Chain A
Amino acid sequence: MTAVTAREAAAPGAPRRGRRTRELSGLAGWTVLGWVAGIAFFIPVLWMVVTAFKPESAAETWPPQFTFSPTLSEFRLVFSGMGPFIEHSAVATVGSTVLVLVLALPAAYALSIHPVGKWRDSLFFFISTKMLPVVAAIGPLYVIALKAHLLDSIWLLIILYAAMNLPLAIWMIRSFMLEVPGEMLEAARLDGAGRFREITEVIMPVVSPGLVSTGLICVIFAWNELFLALNLTVTNAATMPMFLISSVPQEGLYIAHLSAAATVASVPVIIVGWIAQRSLVRGLSMGAIK
């Protein structure tokens, strides 16, 4: 049995050298890899934003310019031209999201806390509507909208976007409601809370953050939607995606202008997405994954 040397009997805190260097080189390796991947994926977005600050003359050059004198002229053009578009986008997005939450909350309640008999079937019905492509019905949809005098109306978009997001919202809110501890509800019932009290004082406090993230996810999908807007609107309800398309003219330089428009159109949702990052997975997986 070898004697314990003075070095080995050192006070705690003296690290063993071999392990430390191994740890540090591993850390360095992953850090480099991580940043390379992150930047690689982010370059198109970065390039979009950079090009937005260029004057048109500097945007379509070879080689591409990385140094230039930045200007806000394209942004100014975008801001002056996008007025009605962004207004329509905002109304359609907020309106449809409010409608979705109003419909989804009680439905999620009926599928989780006091479930109906056929809750499984209902859930699958909702998700099946997401699986059927709306593209298939676009022609007749157009005709229906025309006959109902809803063509090129913001209300049409609100209605359709709500239908588009409803299954997602129901699954998502339901997954939040399932997290309310059963014992809390039973304790409330014993304390004499009726249905209304149960909702306002037990369920809502637990579920509110989830409602916010559900709303944010719905906002992302409604804001970005192109297909329905393209086919069913012209001017009175044209949304930001339409504005983007319109910034590609038949001729002339347009790249900087396009980049500015793309940046302005994307930034709100990017910020919303960064904030709601944590619940992005839950929303995208319909509440399957927390």
Chain B
Amino acid sequence: MAVLEDVTSPPAAGLRPRGVSRRDRWQRRLPLLPALIYTIVVTQVPFLVTLWYSFQSYFWNEPGGAHWTGVSNYREVFTDPSFRSALWRSVTMTVIAVILAMILGILLAVLLDKKFIGRGIVRTLLITPFLVMPAAAALVWAGPMLDPNFGLLNWLLEPFGVNHVAWLTTHAYGSVIVVMIWQWTPFMTLIVLAGLQGQAADVLEAAKVDGASAWSTFRELTLPHLRPYIELGILLGTIYLVTAFDQVRLMTNGGPGTETTTLPFFLYQKVNYAFDVGGAAAAGVVTVLLTIIVASFALRMFARVFQFEEAR
């Protein structure tokens, strides 16, 4: 009489999955090391030095070099109203510019997703603002575009009752934001467009059969699909725009007064006009700490957006 064998016998004791050998591990690390070491040295060392100087009193224009001053630089940063207003200005300008650029970007992406005559050329025209050297863009907007006496914008708006407005004086804040939006909308457009083109055609057809109008389809299906792309665009746009410098320096020089002084410009002034290396360092450290808080937020979002990118 045959006995039923236990086909599912427990595994032999002591079996463990075989790991990667030590040598292989180091072989894999080797190619990464040059880039890693380079980055650490070039980016982390300056920050360590910044940290060091933040505790020093060091003025360019004074003899005697740097000497220890404890946390007085930090005290100054936290009590300095101009630091706080520069920080606030950076935040507001970035938020406004990013959001408006994204809204415009979505509209333009929807446009570019439709077939029409000369679509390729229009697309090329639309991405050009992003490629123009920011310094050139800033100077061209400041002069030939916005000048009260000969600027093109005043001429274009004349029929609407606009009369030789000195944009960079009376509307400096808005003007700088407009240029930022002009330069970064193409970026948002391209990212959202990639998302639109990635939508499965048959899902959209199913919506048609199910009775959804064009607007319903957009609201119920396309926007949710675009969400990771929009998040990525806002995330990256914020990272790039919060450190934007060229427009402020070349259009308004932070003015009038301090109306358009953002954090990068504030730091630039501290170093170049106040010659205050210690103070700038402390302000810089505080900036970095604030950025780290926002960045860890951002990194978590990044992780979610990139979750599908697994290594082999």
Contact = CB atoms under 8 A, between A and B. Distances in A.
A and B touch in the complex (CB under 8 A): yes
Interface of A: 27, 30-31, 33-35, 37-39, 41-45, 47-48, 51, 59-64, 103-104, 106-107, 109-117, 119, 122, 124-144, 159-160, 162-163, 166-167, 170, 175, 178, 182, 220, 223-224, 226-227, 230-231, 240-241, 244-245, 248, 255, 258-259, 261-263, 265-266, 269-270, 272-274, 277, 280-281, 284-290
Given A41-B182, A274-B124, A281-B191, A132 B152 contact: no
Interface string B195-233: 100000000000000000000000000000000010010
A244 to B, nearest CB: 5
A107 B144 contact: no
Nearest to A280: B190
A95 B146 CA distance: 37
A143 B39 contact: no
Given A30-B111, A258-B144, 16 more contacts: A31-B118, A45-B132, A106-B34, A107-B32, A111-B32, A127-B299, A128-B295, A131-B298, A166-B35, A241-B133, A244-B135, A259-B140, A262-B136, A270-B128, A277-B123, A289-B194
B133 A244 contact: yes
B306 interface: yes
For the complex, would chain B's binding face be called helix, strand, loop or mixed by DSSP majority? helix
A114 B131 contact: no
Max count, chain A CB within 10 A of own CB: residue among B139, B195, B277: B139
A134 B125 contact: no
A178 B132 contact: no
A132 B295 contact: yes
Given A163-B38, A274-B124, A136 B267 contact: yes
B137 interface: yes
Contacts of A284: 187, 190-191, 236
Interface residues of B, number: 107
B295 A285 contact: no
B95 interface: no
Given A166-B39, A265-B133, A289-B194, A115 B312 contact: yes
B165 interface: no
Given A34-B119, A227-B245, A48 B191 contact: no
21 contacts: A38-B126, A41-B129, A42-B126, A44-B145, A44-B182, A47-B144, A64-B150, A114-B312, A115-B311, A117-B25, A129-B43, A135-B243, A136-B285, A139-B280, A245-B250, A255-B144, A255-B147, A259-B144, A266-B131, A280-B190, A289-B191
A135 B111 contact: no
A132 B277 contact: no
Contacts of B134: 224, 226
B28 A116 contact: yes
Contacts of B114: 30, 34
A5 B292 CA distance: 74
A133 B243 contact: yes
B214 to A, nearest CB: 11
B291 interface: yes
B16 interface: no
B36 interface: yes
Contacts of B193: 281
B49 A140 contact: yes
Contact of A226 (B124, B147, B246): B246
Given A270-B128, A281-B194, A44 B141 contact: yes
A182 B53 contact: no
Contacts of A281: 190-191, 193-194
Contacts of B38: 103, 162-163, 166
B172 interface: no
Contacts of B288: 132-133, 136
B150 A265 contact: no
B46 interface: yes
Contacts of A163: 38-39, 42-43
Task: Across the A-B interface, give the 4 residue pairs with the lowest CB-CB distance, nearest first.
Answer: A136-B284, A106-B31, A107-B35, A273-B131
B92 interface: no
Interface in B177-192: 182, 185-187, 190-191
B83 interface: no
A190 B48 CA distance: 49
Given A128-B295, A133-B287, A220 B131 contact: yes
Interface in B128-169: 128-137, 139-141, 143-145, 147, 149-152, 155
A134 B243 contact: yes
B50 A34 contact: no
Contact of A269 (B133, B139, B245, B309): B133
Contacts of B147: 60, 255
Nearest to B144: A51
A212 B74 CA distance: 46
Contacts of A287: 309
A290 B39 contact: no
A38 B236 CA distance: 24
Interface string B280-312: 110111011001100100110011011001011
